[in-house]
Amino acid sequence: MPTYPESQYAIQIVGKDEFIVNDHKPIDPVGPYQMMLEVEACGICFSDTKLLHQFDSHPRKSEVIAGIDLDALAEIPGYRPGTQPTTPGHEPVARIVEVGEKVTHFKVGDRVLVQADWKHLRTAKSNGAFGYNFDGALEEFVVVDERCVVSPEGEEFLIHVSDGPSAAAVGLIEPWATVEGSYAWAERNHIAEGGALLVVGEGSIDSLTGDHTPASVEYVAASVEALEALEGQTFDDIVVFSAVPEVIEKAALLLGTRAVMCVVLGKRRLPGRCLWTLGVSTMTSSVSAAQRVLTRLRVMRGFLLTVICVRMTSVRSSVLRARWV
Ligand SMILES: [Zn+2]
């Protein structure tokens, strides 16, 4: 068993918009199902400020009502529901320095980061969470219970990391994962299988249809008139070989729900402003999707292409202008 200092520094939220730096917070003892994390580094998150402002009315600060035996809950020293002062900080990298004899998934020496939302521990409106209703990592030593960080189905919320990356780099994993979880689309980065594809203008789409087969492919000239003739139809994919803003804008009007549009400019530039509407929530995803499509087209055509992908959500009223000058 390691020797610990008698007490430690900790930041504690003690009320709404009220926090203290406690220089004598006791170090909790490690029970049979628990382990001690020595914190290497911990990020501060905008979510921490929400907890600071809302404190006991935050949905993750209320009592855990299901997902763990209530006797077990009572054994966890860092459980801080309701108005109890709590240590925030859910973006740590830490070293396990002590484990209780009943701990099975982790051992002394493991380097870990925390998935803060312990989803199986239900509160009235949300779930239990590290740095909310359980003490987090803005303290030097924090006790975590294995029944909190391993769900009954075996999902682990303490994630092993190697010794290679710096503490700062590991500390960024949780926030970046959150960003990716919110904005990255795991959906489609290729032509819709069995979908309707519209090709506007002269260009090859072989690289796009090699692995994925649309149900129909329609070819039209890159002109406003040709596109107007299609009014009323929608397409799952539109590839536009054109640098004429009016043509691109007209083509965009034919996008169906969750459709993707690729604009292939060749070596040309758009001469002026080109505006079309897209779903607000899809802005970020379209960039990564565009890059993947761009890579494939580039390889195939052998010259510089510029590609923009636009996904339409079903919420057509939430309009955002994509401006490209
Ligand atoms: Zn965060």
What string of DSSP letters covers 192-205?
Answer: PTT-EEEEESS---
Q: Highest mean pLDDT range out of 249-263, 282-296, 308-322?
A: 249-263
State in Å: Cα 179 to ligand 1 middle: 10
Question: Tell me, what amino acid is at 216?
Answer: S
Share of residues in the chain with pLDDT > 90 (%)? 61
| 305 has a pLDDT exceeding 90 | no
State in Å: Cα 14 to ligand 1 middle: 20
State in Å: Cα 243 to ligand 1 middle: 41
State in Å: Cα 189 to ligand 1 middle: 28
| Residue 252 DSSP symbol | H
Q: How far, CA to CA in Å, does 140 sit from each of 11, 96, 199, 323?
A: 10, 12, 60, 48
CB 261 within 8 Å of CB 322:
no
State in Å: Cα 90 to ligand 1 middle: 6
Average pLDDT on 182-200 reads 79
State in Å: Cα 139 to ligand 1 middle: 16
Domains and CATH numbers, the chain: 7-183 (3.90.180.10), 196-324 (3.40.50)
pLDDT at res. 318: 28
Strand pairing report for 117-122 and 309-311: unpaired
State in Å: Cα 204 to ligand 1 middle: 45
The rounded mean pLDDT for the chain is 83
pLDDT tens, residue by residue, 95-116: 999 999 999 999 999 999 999 9
State in Å: Cα 46 to ligand 1 middle: 7
| 177 has a pLDDT exceeding 60 | yes
pLDDT at res. 187: 55
